[in-house]
Amino acid sequence: MKNDMDSKNMTITAQHDRSARPYHHGPALAGILGPAFVAAVAYVDPGNVAANITSGARYGYLLVWVLVLANCMSVLIQYQSAKLGIVTGKSLPEILGERLGDAGRFMFFMQAEVIAIATDLAEVIGGAISLKLLFGLPLFVGGCIIGAVSTVLLIFEKGATHRIFEKLIIGLLLVITFGFIAGLFIAPPNPKEVVAGLIPRFKGTDTVLMATSMLGATVMPHAIYLHSTLVNDHYAPGEAKPSIKKLLHGSKIDVAWALILAGSVNLALLILAANSLYGMTGTDTIEGAQRAIQHVLGSVIGTIFSIGLLASSLSSTSVGTYAGSEIMHGLLRIKAPMWACRVVTLVPALVVLWFANNPTEALIVGQVVLSVGIPFAIIPLMRYTHDRTLMGEYVDGPAKHVVNIAVAALIVALNVVLIVLTMLGKA
C-alpha cells in the first residue's frame, strides 16, 4: 500500500513539475496552432472586402487607425472565447445551453440561427460575384457552386480529419492574403501617408459614419461562438492534450498571429484602394471595385483579386456553417448532419440571388442583422470568463474584466449606432 501511495505521489509531483516548467516554443506549440486561423476567416469575408475598399476609395488613408483599433479589440475577444473553451472544455453555446431554461435556449437559438443565415448571405453572394467576374456565370448558378464546394469542405471538419479541415481553411486564407495584397506590389503606397493614417481623426460626418460601420461590424458573432469550440475540436477524441497552461499560452500566439494576418489583409485592401482608387466612383460594390482595380492595375491583378474573393467566400461560408452546427448542438442539444445545417443557411442566400436586383443591398441588410447579434455573443462571453465557478484559477482579474467590459460596451454601442443610422437611411 505504501509503495502504491509513493508511486501516486511521485506521479502527481512529476505532473506538477512539468506544468511549472517554462513553456518553450517548438513542435509542441506548433501542434496547438490552428483554431484561431479558422476563426480569423470571419474577418476577411466579402463584406469586409467591400467595406475596406469603399473606405480607401472615398477617404484615402484617413481611417487606417480604425482598422488597427478594430483588430486590437478582435484579438482580445477571440482570445477570451478560446480561453473559455480551453478552461471549461465546453463551447460558449454549450454553457449557454446549460444555464438557460428551455424557452430561453430556444429563443437564443432562433436569434443565433438568423445571424448564421445573415452571415452566409454575405459569403455566398460574395462567392457568386467572384464566379461571375471570373467566368461570367449567373449569380444564382455561382451561389449553387459555392454551396456545393463549401459542403465538400465541411466533410473534414470533425474527428480525426479536423486537422485536414484546418489546413484547407488556412490554405484558402493564404490564397486570400495573396489575392488581396498582390496589387500593393504593382503600386506600392507611400509609407508616410500610411503612417499618417494611424493618427485618430475625422473629416466630416460621413467619415464618422464610415468609421462606426467599420468598427461596429468588426467582431462577428459566429466567430465568437465557434472559437470556443475549435480549441477543443482541434484534438481528436482520445488524443492527449497539453496542460491548460500550455494551451492558453499557445492560444495567445495562435490568436495574435492569425488576427495579425487577417488584420494585414484588411489593411492591405484599404491601402490598395487609397493608393490606386482614391476619388474614383462606383467602388462601393464588389463588382465596381474589381473593375476599378482591373482598370488601374491591369487584368492580371483584377483576376488575382477575384480569386482572393472566391477563396474568401468558400472559407468563410464553410466556417459559418460549422458555427451554426455548433450553436444548434450547444443550445438545442441536437447534432444535426452538417449537410442539413448547410441547406438551412444556403437556401435564403440562393433565394436572394434569384430575386434581388442589387445583391449589395442584401449585404447591407445582412450587416445590420449581424450587428443585432453582437451583444448576445459578447456579453455572455465576458460574464463567463469572469465567473470563478467556471474558470477557477484562470478567472479574469478585476483589471482585465474592466477592459473587457469597456471593449464590449464600445462594440455594442457602435453596433446600436449603426443600426439606428441604417434605419434612418444615413449609414
pLDDT of residue 43: 87
pLDDT of residue 12: 39
Query: Is-contact 47 217, C-beta < 8 A?
Result: yes
pLDDT of residue 367: 66
In the block, cell 511521485 appears at 10
Task: Give the CA dihedral 285, 291, 297, 298, nearest 10 degrees.
Answer: 150
In the block, cell 457552386 appears at 145
* Residue 24: inside a domain: no
Rg (CA), the chain: 22
Q: From first to last of its 427 residues, what are the pLDDT tens digits of the chain?
A: 444 444 444 443 443 443 444 444 455 667 788 899 999 988 888 878 888 888 899 999 999 999 999 899 999 999 999 999 999 999 999 999 999 999 999 999 999 888 888 888 888 988 999 999 999 999 999 999 999 998 888 888 776 678 888 889 999 999 999 999 999 988 899 999 999 999 999 887 788 778 877 776 677 888 999 999 999 999 887 788 899 999 999 999 999 999 999 999 999 999 999 999 898 877 777 888 888 888 888 999 999 999 999 999 999 888 888 888 899 999 998 888 888 888 888 998 899 888 877 776 676 667 667 777 888 999 999 999 999 999 999 999 999 999 999 988 888 887 777 777 777 776 5
* Residue 21: inside a domain: no
pLDDT of residue 14: 40
Query: Is-contact 216 411, C-beta < 8 A?
Result: yes
> d(Cα 310, Cα 150) in Å, to the nearest integer?
11
> d(Cα 293, Cα 28) in Å, to the nearest integer?
43
**Residue ranges with strand state E in 59-155:** none
Retrieve residue 167's grid coordinates.
489546413
pLDDT of residue 281: 78
> d(Cα 398, Cα 391) in Å, to the nearest integer?
14
Retrieve residue 169's grid coordinates.
481553411
Could you give the number of structural domains in the chain?
A: 1
* Residue 256: inside a domain: yes
What are the two backbone dihedrals, phi and then psi, of residue 177, each rounded to the nearest 5 degrees? -60, -50
> d(Cα 355, Cα 198) in Å, to the nearest integer?
42
pLDDT of residue 209: 76
Q: Amino acid identity of 367?
A: Q
* Residue 208: inside a domain: yes
Q: Where are the alpha helices (DSSP H) in 89-101?
A: 92-99
End-to-end CA distance of the chain: 74
Task: Give the CA dihedral 272, 273, 277, 283, nearest 10 degrees.
Answer: 140
CA distances from 227 to 37, 38, 83, 109 (A): 10, 8, 9, 17
User: If we measure between CA atoms, which residue out of 119, 152, 95 comes closest to residue 368?
Assistant: 119
In the block, cell 464590449 appears at 408
What is the residue range of 412's domain?
A: 35-423
* Residue 30: inside a domain: no
* Residue 278: inside a domain: yes
Q: What CATH number does the domain containing 224 carry? A: 1.20.1740.10
* Residue 7: inside a domain: no
Query: Is-contact 125 50, C-beta < 8 A?
Result: no
Burial 373-392 (b: 16+ CB within 10 A, else e): bbbbbbebbbebbbeeebbe
User: If we measure between CA atoms, which residue out of 79, 67, 92 comes closest to residue 380?
Assistant: 92
* Residue 366: inside a domain: yes
Query: Is-contact 175 366, C-beta < 8 A?
Result: no
